[in-house]
Amino acid sequence: QLQLVESGGGVVQPGGSLSLSCAASGSLALEYYIIAWFRQAPGKEREGVSCITQRAFTIRYADSVKGRFTISRDDAENMVYLHMDSLKPEDTGVYYCAAELSPVCSQEQEDFKNWGQGTQVTVSA
């Protein structure tokens, strides 16, 4: 079991940037897990934003954030990050990090058993 705590959310104007962090703790080191970021907008289903495998061998992004968001991991610090640039109002939502012991980069929520509590991102003028 891995405990995940997100931070860094807030209110930002369209075109702005924001960096989210996810701190991991548990009996097994973060380096063994794949990590993904998800988001859930009001009234919508949770969607995958990005995933990163162990040692960052594979990184994937949803088409809606490609070129604007960057996922990264620091296994030594048990941290995962999501840097978001050129934010749009449609990026508004609760952002979650998730982790799983799997070799496959996934952006499907049913593939993950370890979740954080989420952090709110609001993009508004």
Q: Name the percent of the chain in helix, strand, coil, to the closest 5.
A: 10, 50, 40
Cα(61)–Cα(76) distance, integer angstroms = 24
The answer to whether 80 and 25 have CB atoms below 8 angstroms apart is: no
Cα(99)–Cα(111) distance, integer angstroms = 9
Mean pLDDT of the chain: 96
pLDDT exceeds 90 at position 1:
no
Write down the pLDDT at residue 36.
97
The answer to whether 71 and 51 have CB atoms below 8 angstroms apart is: yes
Q: 41-72 burial string, b = 16+ CB within 10 Å, else e? A: eeeeebbbbbbbbbeeeeebbbeebeeebebe
Write down the pLDDT at residue 103.
87
Q: Tell me the mean pLDDT in the region 90-106.
A: 95
Q: Which of 60, 58, 39, 59 is nearest to 48 (CA)?
A: 39
Q: Tell me the mean pLDDT in the region 3-23.
A: 98
Cα(89)–Cα(96) distance, integer angstroms = 18
Interval 26-66: pLDDT, tens? 989 999 999 999 999 999 999 999 999 999 999 999 999 99
Q: Tell me the mean pLDDT in the region 13-35.
A: 96
